[in-house]
Amino acid sequence: MNDPIPFIDLSAQRARIRDKIDARLAKVIDEGAYVQGPEIFELERQLSAFGGMDDTIVCGSGTDALALPLMAWGIKPGDAVFVPSFTFAATAEVVAWLGATPIFVDVLGDTFNLDPENLQQAIDEVIRAGRLTPRVVIAVDLFGQAADYPAIRAICDAHGLKLISDAAQGFGATLSGKMASAWADVVSTSFYPAKPLACYGDGGALQTSDVELAAIIRSLRIHGYGTDKYDNVRIGMNGRMDTIQAAILLEKLAIFPEEIEARMAIAARYEAALADLVTPQRLLDGAVSTWAQYTVKLPAARRDAFMAAMKSRGVPTVIYYGKPLHRQTAYKHFPTAGNGLPVSDRLSGEVVSLPMHAYLDAATQDRVIAAARESLAEAAEAA
Ligand SMILES: *Cc1c(COP(=O)(O)O)cnc(C)c1O
């Protein structure tokens, strides 16, 4: 009864599409086009159709998918790139790679996504200080929910800034039926195994409808090729995806819309059963989240006791993220917007994520819900 359940179960999906994936793998291995094989180009076409952008470029990771557009735009020392602090390190890491300055911006306490007002404040401060040139905003779709793109796009337009959607967790999420592609210059995503749309290793993709940008990024992805691969016209990287991962993703993309629906249904069930005791991440009106994580807030003083009580019932919980980036050793010397990011600080003490994946059956959901209700009561008593 108290056998631990997995936080994310990849084996249920594997069982569902085992035959199709195994057939795809055998074909790639037999045919031998391990790099830039036909599945790469098929996947790029299908992702474009899915995501509503003219062009998709698949690459080796979600991190490369963020770095490539910054490289293509010539982001360099002296440039400012605005990023949320309450996110995974890769969002800011790529900015530092290029010698540019990540400016950490706060998030909203209910949606956990970039706060447009604080973004405006951060841009104003950079302009006033006059040392850095504002160039790009990277908005993150945290835990699967699209950021407030209409508001963020308007701010970007007012200042001539490019907008990247870091959709590593939220690829496929929509606001009023539209994906981030309706507002962003580039949508980047990751296919790391724990992400909602994932391969069996590392992989990523970026999408754009800017034809010239896409051509430069294709070149950068493969060592900056010019007329052919031994003619190098810019400093690039080896950023290719393996053909095997593309073959796997073709089968996974086919069932992804159904999986998003399953995640929405599980999240709705969790919310109905727990909202009297904890505060879940709030969705914007008309939002569909891919629910990369199902995350709730509870008083910071009760979190450790709650997690221990869940563990004793065999239900794992995880903290995303226990330390915002502006507090991390590698990033704390970079600027923060005006007020010092109190919401990111507060959230890092309050959030905790429950098991979530598309194949969580009703009985397991019941077990998570029952364990959560008991554990919340225990944690409240202990406090
Ligand atoms: C996972 C993740 C990335 C990086 O993706 P990788 O494929 O692991 O390189 C970037 N941004 C966010 C928000 C992520 O969650």
Helix (H) or strand (E) segment spanning residue 207: strand 204-208
Is residue 192 over pLDDT 90?
yes
* Predicted TM-score (pTM) of this structure: 0.97
- For atom 7 of ligand 1, the residue with the nearest CA is 62
The proportion of the chain whose per-residue pLDDT surpasses 90, expressed as a percent, equals 97
pLDDT at 129: 97
Q: For residue 192, which atom of ligand 1 is closest to its CA? A: 7
What does pLDDT average to over the chain?
A: 97
- What distance in angstroms lies between residue 3's CA and the mean position of ligand 1's atoms? 30
For ligand 1, the distance from its centroid to the CA atom of residue 277, given in whole angstroms, is 31
Query: Which atom of ligand 1 lies at the shortest distance from residue 203's CA?
Result: 7
How far, in whole angstroms, is CA 328 from its chain's centroid? 19
Q: What is the pLDDT of residue 1?
A: 53
178 Cα: distance to centroid of ligand 1 (angstroms): 22
Ligand 1 atom closest to the CA of 66, numbered from 1: 10
CA of 183 to the centre of ligand 1 (A): 20
As a whole number of angstroms, the distance between CA 253 and CA 46 comes to: 8
Among residues 27, 33, 62, the alpha carbon closest in space to that of 248 is found at: 27
**Which residues, 6+ apart, have CB-to-CB distance to 39 below 8 Å?**
24, 28, 243, 246, 247, 250
Give the pLDDT score at 339.
76
Instruction: For residue 21, give the nearest of 255, 189, 204 by alpha carbon.
Output: 255
- Residues 45-53 have a mean pLDDT of 95
Query: Residues 89-107: pLDDT tens digits?
Result: 999 999 999 999 999 999 9
Tell me how crowded residue 76 is: count the other CB atoms within 10 A of its CB.
13
Distance 84 CA to ligand 1 centre (A): 14
188 touches 168 (CB < 8 A): yes
Report how far apart, in Å, the C-alpha atoms of 338 and of each of 127, 188, 316 are: 13, 28, 37
* Strand, coil or helix: 257: helix
Could you tell me which of 198, 190, 194 has the C-alpha nearest to residue 251?
Answer: 198
CB neighbour list of residue 82: distance below 8 Å, 6 or more residues apart? 102, 103, 105, 119, 122, 123, 134, 136, 137, 138, 161
CB 24 within 8 A of CB 244: no
302 phi, psi to nearest 5 deg: -100, -5
List residues near ligand 1 (CB under 6 A): 61-63, 87-88, 90-91, 140, 166, 168-169, 190, 192, 202, 204
Q: Which of 87, 88, 112, 140 to mutate to test the pocket of ligand 1 (most atoms within 8 A of CB)?
A: 88
CA atoms lying within 13 Å on the CB side of residue 338: 15
Among 190, 240, 242, 289, residue to substitute to test ligand 1 (most atoms within 8 Å of Cβ): 190
Q: How far is the CA of 359 from the centre of ligand 1 (A)?
A: 22
Instruction: Please name which of 112, 177, 146 lies closest in space to residue 290, comparing C-alpha atoms.
Output: 146
Distance, CA of 341 to CA of 172 (rounded, Å): 28
Residue 168 CA to ligand 1 center (angstroms) comes to: 5
What's the one-letter identity of residue 41?
Answer: F
Nearest to 14 by CA among 247, 259, 252: 252
Whether residue 17 is predicted with pLDDT greater than 70 in this model: the reply is yes
Q: How far is the C-alpha of 107 from the C-alpha of 224, rounded, in Å?
A: 36
CA of 190 to the centre of ligand 1 (A): 6
Model confidence at 35: pLDDT above 90: yes
Atom of ligand 1 nearest to the CA of 91: 11
Nearest to 4 by CA among 379, 361, 355: 355
Mean pLDDT of 58-64: 98
Contact 95, 71 (CB under 8 A): no
| pLDDT level of residue 150 (50, 70, 90 thresholds) | very high
Q: How far is the CA of 186 from the centre of ligand 1 (A)?
A: 15
Mean pLDDT value of segment 337-348: 94
Nearest to 256 by CA among 49, 63, 7, 28: 49
Give, for ligand 1, the residue of 63, 85, 140, 171 to mutate: max count of ligand atoms closer than 8 Å to Cβ.
63
Atom of ligand 1 nearest to the CA of 190: 7
| Closest ligand 1 atom to Cα of 142 | 13
C-alpha to C-alpha distance for 137 and 159, rounded to whole angstroms: 11
Q: How far is the CA of 88 from the centre of ligand 1 (A)?
A: 7
Please choose, from the candidates 356, 376, 230, the residue with its C-alpha nearest in 3D space to the C-alpha of residue 313: 376
Report the C-alpha gap between 213 and 311 in whole angstroms: 48
Q: Residues 6 or more apart from 371 whose CB is under 8 A from it?
A: 309, 310, 313, 314, 315
228-237 per-residue burial string, b: 16 or more CB within 10 A, e: under 16: eeeeeeeebb
Cα–ligand 1 centroid distance for 116 (angstroms): 22
Summarised one tens digit per residue, pLDDT across range 197-254 is: 999 999 999 999 999 999 999 999 999 999 988 899 999 999 999 999 999 999 999 9
Output the residue whose Cα is nearest ligand 1's atom 2. Answer: 168
* Cross-strand pairs, 139: 165
Contacts of 123 (CB under 8 A, 6+ apart): 82, 134, 155, 159, 161
Q: What is the pLDDT of residues 154-176, one digit of tens each?
A: 999 999 999 999 999 999 999 99
